[in-house]
Structure 1
Amino acid sequence: MRDWRTDPTFAMCRALVDGADPASFAGGAFDVRAVVAGIRSGAHSGLLLDAVPWGNFPHGQDAREAVRLLRTGEDPTRHATDVLGGLCANDSRAAAALAVPFLIPMATDVHHSHRGAALGVLSGPARARHFGVASRDELLLHRTAPRRHTADDYDDYGVEVTGYPAGWSVAAARAAVTAETPVLLPLLNDSDPTIRIDAAYALATAADPDHTVRTALATRLATEHDAIVRAALLLAAAETTRAYAHPPTVRWLGQRWQDRTEAPEARLAAAIGWLCLTDEPAPEDLRQAIDTFATDERAHAMDALPWMNAAGGSGEPGLRRCIRCMLHPEEPEPWDDPWAVSL
């Protein structure tokens, strides 16, 4: 096993632990934002994969091999996606952010055998710590894109488990998604509902100051018939609105959870999105709607939404966790002890 204290991939992290100013690395070979910006335009090139300085970032070689497996269509694909998803789940996103410019061309290629797998993991590094997060304040928390190649986002996001600036990883991944928004938007109309869900999840991380993404989400909702996809579109609209305030969208979400003709899954998603965008106390009719529609069966079904899947924990479905944290924050966390003995 490699020792992080001597592993060259942790050179920057060691320096930061020793008190180095992160600004001294901004724009250089250890700044994942700068590296991603340099590779975005040529991500289709097979040679470029080896030109990327993967070794400058913790677990970089693991991320590189995962990308290679996905690009070539080799098995085990599940292993590749588990590696990239695991880096994000373990709060080590820098190398996963490097993978994003390579994953987007796969995800948008209708002939690629692993397009769904690539799309499913590409937006993970564009979100700061979010696994197990389900409160009103943090579920859809998104900050506007920080200025590139500065240390300004370092303090806002803190550091990853490796010591790498978490904000740099998030900014790099978000910039990659934002740059490719025009090619990702058509995926909202894909024939596969899973693709539509994951496209909404990815697009929710794009910078959207002109409301292009929000408009596309609302446009798709007007013709979308799948209840779970409708829920995804509403959560994505709420997430992008969290970064770029838009009062009409807040009112629109309020109308969606009150709409008795709307699918229950969509009403629940709209209610959660509305709660995350306001400081207002939850009205009684919202609580009643949630109590009516949030059945155990529906909670498990809604784990198909990546927001809910990430929010779950300790055996508690994401929807249940969101409801508990948002409406009943006084309740204790459930304790899932696999070694417990029933009496």
Structure 2
Amino acid sequence: MVRWEEDPVYQAIAQAFVSGDLEMHAGGPLDVRAAMASISQEAKDAFAYDHLPWERFPRGPETRGDVANLRSGDADVVRRALRGVSGELANSACSVAALAVPFLLRVAADPRGHCRVFALELVADIVQWTLGPSRCTREELLRLSGGEWWFEPSAYPGHWGIEAARDAVAADLDLVTALLDDPEPEMRVAAAYAGVAAGRIHDVRSALHVRLRVEADPVVRAGLVLALAQLACEHPDPECRAWTEALWSDPTTPPVVRVSAALGWLCLADAPAPESLLAALEVCATEETARLMAPLPWMRAVDHGDDTGLHRCIRGLLHPDDAEPVLDEDPWALPPILT
């Protein structure tokens, strides 16, 4: 096995981005955004993954092999391939994970495929990727990573990878919005989570509202509310704050939806939490609600040890000084359970 220091791809990346000017390479052969833009819709629909220059990016050939297995008839093979792409993302290799996005979307959209929900959730994880652990504050809970420069372990500009992934979702937004009507509740939630970062604001907002009007599953409705609030945090919507208030203040609305609306309101508003919102949380934010909301990706992103994501969110949004517990000398120590 070739050591990474001796790998010609890593050497080329280091020479380009450690010793060279990053902007000089924008739009060039090492720009994953340009590589993504170069592949036609026809090639993506034909699953022609070989049209992309995998060999130019760290861990590219390995990820190409995983993409090649995504349409296997063996569910275990597909699952391992998805874990391979997920592993690259976990190692902060967003550039090569981004190249897989068009094909992950087509796996998710194919009703005959295996691990469809896993594939779409992986797309959502790539486009929603954030710098460091997610924090439960009113300023950060529903924020996407912005245009900050950051670099992968290989020295590749990781923000280019996130931009490429979001461009890929925008190009295939019709596939994503169609999955808002999928029979699987988890798929509908993942579609909402992925769509927020696509950039086509009007189209995404309209599709989310259309789905919300007919959605019967309270947990999926809660996810759609969080997605719409997140969209408003990124792209101001003057009506969204009042809309979330109407939801959390309505006692006929399911508790899980009221709680999501309250979280959204807290992230959209600068004002202190009113007594009526606190009363709604007191009634609705039960252990049962926390259990129901636990699978939502917004909650999974902030789930920490034995503390539920919902409880961390509420504590952080209402008491920001207590949002992140001070750890002891052990850097891996878990925070205390919320009481």
Q: TM-score range by the shorter chain?
A: 0.7 to 0.9
Within 5 Å, give how 1:1-343 maps onto structure 2: 2-11=2-11, 13-15=13-15, 18-41=18-41, 42-46=43-47, 48-74=48-74, 75-129=76-130, 131-142=133-144, 153=147, 156-209=148-201, 211-331=202-322, 332-333=324-325, 337=333
After superposition, the Cα gap between the structure-2 partners of 1:295 and 1:90, relative to the gap in structure 1 and judged at 3 Å, is farther
CA RMSD of aligned residues (A): 2.3
Q: What do residues 221-279 of structure 1 show as CA deviations (whole Å, max 9, x unaligned)?
A: 11211111001101111122222211112221222121211111111111112222232
TM score, norm. by length of structure 1: 0.86
Q: What do residues 26-48 of structure 1 show as CA deviations (whole Å, max 9, x unaligned)?
A: 112211111111125211334x3
After superposition, the Cα gap between the structure-2 partners of 1:275 and 1:86, relative to the gap in structure 1 and judged at 3 Å, is farther
**In structure 2, C-alpha distance between the alignment counterparts of 1:169 and 1:190, rounded to whole Å:** 28
**In structure 2, C-alpha distance between the alignment counterparts of 1:201 and 1:182, rounded to whole Å:** 15
Contact 1:231 1:270 in 2 (8 A): yes
**In structure 2, C-alpha distance between the alignment counterparts of 1:68 and 1:316, rounded to whole Å:** 39
**In structure 2, C-alpha distance between the alignment counterparts of 1:96 and 1:277, rounded to whole Å:** 31
Deviation at 1:13, TM superposition (A): 4.0
After superposition, the Cα gap between the structure-2 partners of 1:11 and 1:52, relative to the gap in structure 1 and judged at 3 Å, is farther
The amino acid that maps onto 1:247 is P
**In structure 2, C-alpha distance between the alignment counterparts of 1:315 and 1:78, rounded to whole Å:** 27
**In structure 2, C-alpha distance between the alignment counterparts of 1:203 and 1:247, rounded to whole Å:** 20
Unaligned runs of 5+ in 1: 145-152, 339-343
**In structure 2, C-alpha distance between the alignment counterparts of 1:82 and 1:291, rounded to whole Å:** 39
Contact 1:40 1:101 in 2 (8 A): no
**In structure 2, C-alpha distance between the alignment counterparts of 1:216 and 1:278, rounded to whole Å:** 24
Matched position secondary structure for 2:301: helix
**Percent identity for Structure 1 against Structure 2:** 38
TM score, norm. by length of structure 2: 0.87
Unaligned runs of 5+ in 2: 335-339
Deviation at 1:297, TM superposition (A): 3.4
**In structure 2, C-alpha distance between the alignment counterparts of 1:162 and 1:193, rounded to whole Å:** 37
Contact 2:17 2:156 in 1 (8 A): no
